[in-house]
Amino acid sequence: MSTALRSNSDQIFEREAFTVRRNPCLVSLALLALGVFFAGARLHAQSFVLDLPRPSQHALLTQRIGVTDITISYHRPLTNGRKIWDGVVPYGQVWRAGANENTTIVFSDPVTIEGKPLDKGAYGLHMIPTADQWTIIFSKNSMRIQVKPQAAELHEALTYDFDQLKPDSAVLTLRWEKLAIPFKVAVKVNDVVQQSLHNQLRGLAQYSWMGWDDAATYLLDNKLNLEEALSYEDKSIQNEERFDNLVTRSRVLRALGRKDEAATAQNKALEGATPLQVHLLGRQLQADSRQDEAFAIFRTNAKKNPTQWFVHSGMARIYSAQGDFDNAAKEMKVALAGAPDQQKSYVAGLVKRLEAKEDINK
């Protein structure tokens, strides 16, 4: 029994005992009063030892932005025909943005909320509603922002959703009754990923060529810290020299303007490459807008390995770029005949595009 409850019950008992001393006939009534008091106190209490259903059910929602996880834990009250705004939820008062325990939100990395920076961590989420402006509060007054409520379709149960998903942001929206309360959460994805790479490459990933190669490729493709990308690639090659990391090293060196070294790395990659790897290098060169080099590789590969289905795909790309769609379609049909089952649908789509005289390189 809590201290407050025990204190209240003691006071009641003392008053009833005094009355009983003066009138013994009231003993039964006194005991009945105590019984009703304790029964009423227990009737509405939440069980502390059992997991039982609750009127407002718990929900957990997680959204990843980049590599940052955002998790909101809340309970979902129902409208049940009640007046919610300035009724169940009074205007001008702090509200726990849900039911039962406080609503909480956890950010695994630093974020911005409506453009304002907020450290990573766990926060209680509270709101102060008014008719035309809401205040969103993150616990301990770490941050307060103001947003405008919006009209919405009826939501019987209070709901949080992540809307307007983008690579570096999302809008977290509370919806209940016919109102929506949105606020934007954004992440500096590249900054977070670079720090994450540092941390991950201190673990098991450091012992594999692939971890370093993937990290270098991310930095290269996103035009970030190319010197660090080269350092990562060198460590990948130290772990195990492969066609993949030699090609990536060549790409990083070219991005750094070191073309002679880039050519040396690419030639070394080609020395032990399989016909498929050669074809994939050509496709990578196309992705890097190095079309002429890619076509030279496709031609050489087709001469050396005429029985491989994918070399005909490479030749089809050359003809397509030249506007010779008849020969391009012819080559692609040869590729289709030899392609493995899991590739046939994709190659068949390329045939249709060529027959429609569409350049498949665009």
Cα–Cα distance list, 167 to 133, 189, 190, 199, 268 (Å): 29, 8, 10, 22, 36
Q: Which helix (H) or strand (E) holds 224?
A: none
Which tens digit of pLDDT belongs to each residue from 53-75?
888 889 999 999 999 999 999 99
Per-residue confidence (pLDDT) for residue 140, from 0 to 100: 78
Per-residue confidence (pLDDT) for residue 12, from 0 to 100: 39
Q: Cα 31 to chain center, whole Å?
A: 60
> Under a CB-based contact definition with an 8 Å cutoff, are residues 249 and 241 in contact?
no
Burial of 110 (0-12, 13-18, 19+ CB in 10 A): middle
Give the length of the chain: 362
Pick the CATH number of 189-272 from 1.10.3210, 3.10.450, 1.10.1740, 1.25.40: 1.25.40
> Under a CB-based contact definition with an 8 Å cutoff, are residues 73 and 60 in contact?
yes
- Residue range 274-362 in CATH 3.90.1150.110: no
Phi, psi for residue 262 in degrees, rounded to 5: -65, -45
Q: Which of 31-40, 156-165, 256-265, 330-339 has the lowest mean pLDDT?
A: 31-40
Stretch 254-280: mean pLDDT, rounded? 97
| pLDDT score of 7 more than 90 | no
Per-residue confidence (pLDDT) for residue 20, from 0 to 100: 40
Residue ranges covered by each domain of the chain: 3-43, 57-187, 189-272, 274-362
Which tens digit of pLDDT belongs to each residue from 230-243?
999 999 999 999 99
| pLDDT score of 24 more than 60 | no
Per-residue confidence (pLDDT) for residue 142, from 0 to 100: 86
Burial of 98 (0-12, 13-18, 19+ CB in 10 A): buried
Q: Cα 155 to chain center, whole Å?
A: 25
Task: Please indicate whether residue 54 or residue 209 has the higher confidence score (pLDDT).
Answer: 209
| pLDDT score of 206 more than 90 | yes
Per-residue confidence (pLDDT) for residue 15, from 0 to 100: 41
> Percent of the chain beyond pLDDT 90?
83
| pLDDT score of 1 more than 80 | no
**Mean confidence (pLDDT) of the chain:** 90
> Under a CB-based contact definition with an 8 Å cutoff, are residues 231 and 215 in contact?
no
What does DSSP say about strands 103-107 and 111-113: parallel, antiparallel, or unpaired? unpaired
Q: How many Cβ atoms sit within 10 Å of the Cβ of residue 136?
A: 20
Per-residue confidence (pLDDT) for residue 160, from 0 to 100: 98
| pLDDT score of 42 more than 80 | no
- Sequence-distant (6+) residues with CB within 8 A of 107 are 68, 69, 70, 118, 119, 120, 121, 123
| pLDDT score of 153 more than 70 | yes
> Under a CB-based contact definition with an 8 Å cutoff, are residues 270 and 340 in contact?
no
- Give the confidence band of 47 by pLDDT, cuts at 50, 70, 90: low
> Under a CB-based contact definition with an 8 Å cutoff, are residues 253 and 230 in contact?
yes
| pLDDT score of 30 more than 50 | no
Per-residue confidence (pLDDT) for residue 56, from 0 to 100: 86
Per-residue confidence (pLDDT) for residue 230, from 0 to 100: 98
Given this chain, do its domains 189-272 and 274-362 carry the same CATH topology? yes
Per-residue confidence (pLDDT) for residue 144, from 0 to 100: 96
Query: Which position has the token pair 């939820």?
Result: 89
Whole-prediction pTM: 0.77
Stretch 140-168: mean pLDDT, rounded? 95
> Under a CB-based contact definition with an 8 Å cutoff, are residues 37 and 9 in contact?
yes
| pLDDT score of 2 more than 70 | no
Stretch 172-180: mean pLDDT, rounded? 97
- Give the confidence band of 278 by pLDDT, cuts at 50, 70, 90: very high
Nearest alpha-carbon partner for 333 in 351, 307, 308: 351
Distance CA 75, CA 157 (A): 9
Q: Which of 44-58, 204-218, 228-242 has the lowest mean pLDDT?
A: 44-58
